[in-house]
Amino acid sequence: MILEEIVDEIKVELKRRQILNTCMGYSFTSTLLDSGEVGISHTIGEGKINGAGSLIGKNAFEAVRENLETPLQRSLSLSILSALNTVEGFQEGDLINFLEEGKTCVFGYSPSFSSENYVIYDFYDVENPTEKRKSFSSFQGDRCVNVVIYGSAIVNGYIDKILSQVSSDNIAILGFSSIYTPHTLRKYGVKLIGISKFLAGKKGMR
């Protein structure tokens, strides 16, 4: 599982951190670490959290290691992992400027995309599918010039299927739940990583 490799890449720093607070909401989950950094991920309410009620003060690596199996567990773990994201070396910009000409495949929960040549594989069921928007359940592989994957694919567990069945030389993972682990993601063909970061620290828990 790709997520296990992501955890392995940053486990040294993860083992140094403790959880000070965590808040799981209907749409998003956020976690405050003892470093003062806050991470955020999507909340997908399937499963139950291991160690719920005893997370405060727990070692971050141990909490993550115990919560990788279900979408709800990954919601917690990715909020912890994203707190380790750094903005050093990143630049602000529009994703469109980094895409090449040609078909773009987009994976996410009802994502919007502005381009002439694209197809959206929606994680929600699409009642009236078209050539431009289809349910992810119909995805059996595709060849695309660009691939845009939202971080929610890591939470729901679809990321492995997407990266193994899509053919592209220009893959981007971005948004909430995206984790900056360049060595792991590069191995799977990811060239662009877009992260979300709370620069104000504790304000991210409000």
Q: Quick check: 31 pLDDT over 60?
A: yes
Structure token digits, residue 156: 């729901």
Kindly report, residue by residue over 118-158, the tens digit of the pLDDT. 999 999 999 999 999 999 999 999 999 999 999 999 999 99
pLDDT number for residue 202: 56
Strand order in the sheet with 171-174: 133-135, 118-122, 104-108, 146-150, 171-174, 190-194
The CB density around residue 149, as the number of other CB atoms within 10 Å, is: 25
Distance CA 86, CA 37 (A): 10
Q: Identify the burial level of 57 via C-beta atoms within 10 angstroms of its C-beta, where 0-12 means exposed, 13-18 middle and 19 or more buried.
A: exposed
pLDDT number for residue 131: 92
Kindly report, residue by residue over 58-111, the tens digit of the pLDDT. 999 999 999 999 999 999 999 999 999 876 766 777 777 888 999 999 999 999
Q: What is the mean pLDDT of residues 34-61?
A: 94
Kindly report, residue by residue over 163-204, the tens digit of the pLDDT. 999 999 999 999 889 999 999 999 999 999 888 776 665 555
Q: What is the mean pLDDT of residues 25-50?
A: 94
pLDDT number for residue 199: 64
Whole-number Cα distances in Å, 138 to 122, 126, 130: 10, 10, 12
pLDDT number for residue 91: 72
pLDDT number for residue 200: 62
pTM for the model stands at 0.91
Structure token digits, residue 5: 């490799």
pLDDT number for residue 201: 57
Q: Quick check: 49 pLDDT over 70?
A: yes
* Contact (Cβ atoms closer than 8 angstroms) between residue 67 and residue 49: yes
pLDDT number for residue 26: 92
Q: Residue 23: phi, psi to the nearest 5?
A: -135, 120
Distance CA 104, CA 89 (A): 26
pLDDT number for residue 98: 83
